[in-house]
């Protein structure tokens, strides 16, 4: 049985980690091959040119698997929905928000972000699907229920 303090701490860690990884993945989705040269020149890594680097996709898959596992082990089966919903809402909000200048926060032409959204959400979906297929653990009892003693 998981204590209430452990569950509360688990929920807090999962929420904070979900927000941090979602924003990190958004930032990495704009990274390009030419960004290395920009970084070495002391410029912004988002001013580089060239082919987009899809580093956000494997990060989303790995981080979301870790978030789902952590939520499962510290809080319980139902808690996997919390990072899934929060991560998806952050990603959907980022894809539809405009800045003060009228630009979108993440453009529709950024295929790395779109693939990251799909792969990250499917990671949570597959983790949840595997949980549904596996029955919940039955707590062990010390009493066999039989009368008499041995």
Per-residue pLDDT tens for 37-62? 777 887 777 776 778 889 999 999 99
Cβ proximity of 67 and 18 under 8 Å: yes
pLDDT at 148 over 80: no
- Residue of 65, 58, 74 lying closest to 18 (CA atoms): 65
Global pTM value:
0.81
Domain ranges of the chain: 4-133
Can you tell me the mean pLDDT for 121-145? 82
Cβ proximity of 15 and 29 under 8 Å: no
Distances 11 to 79, 120, 146 between C-alpha atoms, Å: 8, 20, 41
Distance CA 145, CA 84 (A): 41
Distance CA 19, CA 13 (A): 10
């Amino acid at each position: 049985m998981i204590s209430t303090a452990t569950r509360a701490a688990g929920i807090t860690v999962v929420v904070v980690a979900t927000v941090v990884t979602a924003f990190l993945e958004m930032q990495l989705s704009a990274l390009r091959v030419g960004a290395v040269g920009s970084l070495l020149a002391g410029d912004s890594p988002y001013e580089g040119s060239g082919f987009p680097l899809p580093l956000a996709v494997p990060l989303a898959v790995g981080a979301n698997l870790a978030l789902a596992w952590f939520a499962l082990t510290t809080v319980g089966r139902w808690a996997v929905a919390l990072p899934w919903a929060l991560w998806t809402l952050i990603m959907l909000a980022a894809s539809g928000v405009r800045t003060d200048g009228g630009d979108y926060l993440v453009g529709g032409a950024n295929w790395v972000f779109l693939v990251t959204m799909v792969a990250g959400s499917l990671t949570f979906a597959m983790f949840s699907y595997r949980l549904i297929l596996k029955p919940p653990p039955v707590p062990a009892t010390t009493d066999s229920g039989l009368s008499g003693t041995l």
